[in-house]
Structure 1
């Protein structure tokens, strides 16, 4: 029941709202029509007054119509001349302002072009200086690279020469070793020792390693029993801190 009553109330409110809207719209339309009618009546009344005023003027000036027309024409011509003069002055003023503005615009353009030309000139000089500097730096780098390559080439040549020298020395040493081996087979022990001493002196004179020759001679002497046996050291190690009985007896 409450729901139905609520729906009924809402329906009545909607109807009342629609009625108010219709009434308001109708009143607005009536007011608008009334205003339009009043405006129309006012305009009609104004036209009537103007027509009556013109009719009265025409009736009042029927006798001197020609003079009035002349005066009106003279006034109209005067107003036209004044208007033309004002227009001419305005155009002259605008032309002068335009010329002044154009002259200033041209000056600004010239100054801007001169400034841009000066900037381009400075940039060109800067690029030329940079190019000269780059050329000098490039020349320095080329010279440094050439010097570096020359030194590297020199070091490489020195290394090659050292390798050739050591290879030649090794080959000569090998050849001498072969020759010595062939000679050793034909020599007796004393001749071998004598020849070994000679080879040792040659190595010392030529600044070659002498240790291999010394070891070879020592091994040859040991193998062929040409070296005296090393004497045995019968003395034992004695402490320097604690005195021996013999030294104590002598001290007493």
Structure 2
């Protein structure tokens, strides 16, 4: 399986890729779990909303597929997603929404991510195993939908990242890698995967650290004045001065050939002899 981490607009990347290889490639898109396209008509700047303004995604999501037993696709179940086989793109990216001379279509898998999960302040990981499992199951569901419809390549944007969702980038990247490499329903089902980041400088890690610093400063304001100033200053310095990697850099590292090779060759603790005999 080939794994790429790139910079660009994920939908444009998918369209260009399809034109080169002459094979339909799905795009896994963040989704609002309550209504089709979220608040795309009100100017909200999430990627799903912006895609709805340049395509037929909202209309497609609003209409259940042929043979559906339901009169609405919403709300989307916690581990569910929606497969839109033919989403027609007729405008360019959100900077201008320029009308395209040629229209394109692509499959879109709409999957709601976990929003603002509770995190451990010491390790920037999911605080609750049940929430981590939910994120992993959402990833599995999105990829299983792609595999069910016969796709062997897939494009993934900054799913679950950014200010709107704030999942821990390192652990999220490792979850994607874990599913691709080890999940029995996914392993071997894909030939080529591309993670495409629209903003090369987006750092969800920095957003999380800044939020932690603000909470620490607020919490310590009720303590002694001297301690509060000292701790707040320390928290502010540590957040500002320590370089936080971008989401793109984290995914680049996690999916580098060396890291993938090391992960594959690392002994799985679940099958250690002590675990089997205990």
Q: State the TM-score, normalizing by the size of structure 1.
A: 0.19
Between the two structures, name the one with larger relative contact order (CA 8 Å, sep ≥ 6). 2
- Higher helix proportion (structure 1 or 2): 1
**Rg larger in structure:** 1
Larger strand proportion of the pair: 2
